[in-house]
Amino acid sequence: MNYLAHLLLAGEDPARQVGSLLGDFLGDTDLESLPEAVRAGVEQHFQVDAYCNHHPAFRRARKRLYPHIGHYAGPVADIFFDHCLAQDWTRWRNLPLSIFSQMVYDHLDGFAPWLGPKLQAAAPRMREVDLLASYRHLAGMQRALRHLRQRARNRVELAPCLSQLETGKEVWRRDFHHLMTDLQKELGA
């Protein structure tokens, strides 16, 4: 799962939400130095990732992408699933996505001392482009794929994968709903 799904699964606790996002930005952050609720969010992040990697819906998603982009199939599937979540947000949460995303950015500001250098650097840009809500739109997906490509040192072209999402949208949505429903049961959410 990518940022938006981790945040949704973290529940209502701001510290736990911050921890769920921090899981992707840890670097050399000392987990023991984090407040307990933030640490619980980080631990849940790892639990969610481990569960997803073995779930049949996620494996199918990766398999659809693998012939085109190799080992980047997992991260791209995560991004595509965040798009599915953003598109169907009201099915999973009553609070509008635009309000939820602004709350998350405020939480990041409030927990700045514990974010570590990577997330501290990323947080202002996330707010500036409203990264979380941008997953609803094609432009947001393109931006996320460009960012992943830069992190991959431009070794693979990811933008053409969007056609996989567009032509197979119902398959992606069905796999996402299957995975998210099972994840919520697994976490007791």
Average pLDDT over the chain, rounded to whole? 93
Q: Is the pLDDT of residue 187 over 70?
A: yes
Lowest mean pLDDT among 2-11, 58-67, 159-168: 159-168
Q: Is the pLDDT of residue 28 over 70?
A: no
Residue 114 and residue 122 in contact, taking contact as beta carbons nearer than 8 Å: no
The CA distances from residue 15 to 4, 65, 110, 112, in Å, are 15, 34, 9, 11
Q: Is the pLDDT of residue 27 over 80?
A: no
Domain count for the chain: 1
Q: State the residue for tokens 């819906």.
A: 57
**Predicted confidence band of residue 179 (pLDDT cuts 50, 70, 90):** very high
Of 139, 140, 142, nearest to 150 (Cα)? 142
The CA distances from residue 161 to 39, 69, 158, 170, 174, in Å, are 34, 8, 6, 16, 18
Residue range of the domain that includes 90:
3-187
Q: Is the pLDDT of residue 135 over 90?
A: yes
Residue 76 and residue 158 in contact, taking contact as beta carbons nearer than 8 Å: yes
